[in-house]
Amino acid sequence: MAANNEFARSILDGLKRTPKYTEPRWLYDAVGAKLFEAICELDTYYVTRVEMSILNAHAADIADALGEGVSIVEPGSGAALKVRPILDALGPRAKAYVPIDIAAGQLAATAAELGKRYPHLTVSPVATNFFAPFTMPPVDNGVVFFPGSTIGNMPRESGVEFLNRMLDRSGATRLLIGFDLVKDKAVLELAYDDPAGVTRAFKMNVLHRINRELGADIDLRTFEFESLYNETSQAIEMYLTSKIGQSVHIAGETIAFAANERISTEDSRKYTLESFSDFAAACGLKPVQSWLDDDQYFALMLLSR
């Protein structure tokens, strides 16, 4: 059943390794996407709210830094909510917008809406999984816009590879990126393990997917969600932990778990302005300008090759 299924191959490969892991992208099926939307509305989860406050407060300054005749490429654009303050501030200085998203229906609707809202703007949607190989027409005076701190979910090597690939494919020479800043441990741990249990449901949903889509027999009652801040690596680490020793069957194969054995579902790395600049240097990028909120919880940084 699952031999040619990308989801099955990824899950089985990750669960056969030591330590076990699942790729974060599998969290976002229809149910997972709704749960993540709910997380973004929580008072304890500051990331989306704070980033939007930066975009709204500094849109004019960001637009001035981007300059005339700019083309914006946004991987993972969704409903293109975060780019709108920038497009509003740019006005006719914005030449083109290339939203990239796997949800083709939403992408087409968003592109049509933006075309009406910004009649001076050439909107060229690209429906694809931006982590997979894809092609797109290069843009003039391009900037890749990558908000949302997604870069923090990628291992360093993968993040460098991804950013280089996006810049190379688009022909863009600049990057406007969002990333979460190092802050008080209590704030971080509350943001990623909310009292309402929404984050827990979001992470546990991947086990529901495995049962439903791969014919597995995982007893979800035998797993618990764990989230902790690793001060050494400056990352939130999130796990699904088997409370007992057990074997589960997935897509015709048997996976053994020891008691208290963890599945790593996602890390969320935090940065300082200096450590992110060091990371970006591996992509041949140098900081141009940064924008922070008043509490210094989050940052947007413009970088140039």
Pinpoint the residues of the chain covered by CATH 3.40.50.150. 47-183+271-304
Q: Which stretch of 2-6, 238-242, 270-274, 295-299 has the lowest confidence by average pLDDT?
A: 2-6
Percent of the chain topping pLDDT 90: 90
pLDDT digits (tens, 9 = 90+) for 25-83: 899 888 998 999 999 999 999 999 999 999 999 999 999 999 999 999 999 998 999 99
Q: What is the percent of the chain with per-residue pLDDT over 70, rounded to a whole number? A: 99
CATH code given to domain 47-183+271-304: 3.40.50.150
Give the residue among 9, 17, 64 at the shortest CA–CA distance from 264.
17
* pLDDT exceeds cutoff 90 at 8: yes
- Please give the single-letter amino acid code of residue 129: N
Are 176 and 104 in contact by the 8 Å Cβ rule? The answer is: no
> Would you state the pLDDT for residue 97?
97
pLDDT band at 223 (very low <50, low <70, confident <90, very high): very high
Mapping DSSP to helix (H, G, I), strand (E, B) and coil, where does residue 69 land? coil
Tell me the two tokens of residue 207: 């086990």
* Amino acid at position 173, single letter: T
Following CA atoms 48, 176, 146, 229 in sequence, which dihedral angle do they give, to the nearest 10 degrees?
Answer: -60
Give residue 137's pLDDT. 81
Q: What is the pLDDT of residue 3?
A: 40
**Residue range 122-175, pLDDT digits in tens:** 999 999 888 778 888 889 999 999 999 999 999 899 999 999 999 999 999 999
* CA–CA separation, 21 and 25 (whole Å): 12
Assigned token pair, 141: 């005076």
pLDDT at residue 2, as a whole number: 44
Cα 67 to the center of its chain, rounded Å: 27
Q: Flag whether pLDDT at 178 surpasses 90.
A: yes
Calculated CA dihedral for residues 26, 171, 168, 131, nearest 10 degrees: 10
pTM exceeds cut of 0.75: yes
pLDDT, tens digit, 9 for 90 and up, residues 244-258: 999 999 999 999 999
SS3 167: helix
Neighbours of 209 (CB within 10 A): 19
Supply φ then ψ for residue 254, to 5 degrees: -105, 130
The SS3 call for residue 75 is: strand
Q: Which of 300, 265, 272, 268 is nearest to 188 (CA)?
A: 268
Task: Determine the average pLDDT of the residues in 280-290.
Answer: 96
Q: Are 258 and 276 in contact (CB under 8 A)?
A: no
32-64 b/e (C-beta count within 10 Å ≥ 16 → b): beebbebbeebebbbbbebbbbbbeebbeebbe
- pLDDT-derived band at 187, boundaries 50, 70, 90: very high
Q: Is residue 220 pLDDT above 50, yes or no?
A: yes
Give the pLDDT confidence score for residue 39 in this predicted structure: 96
Instruction: Write down the H helix ranges in 215-294.
Output: 273-281
Q: Is the per-residue pLDDT at 4 higher than 80?
A: no
pLDDT tens track for 73-111? 999 998 999 999 999 999 999 999 999 998 889 999 999
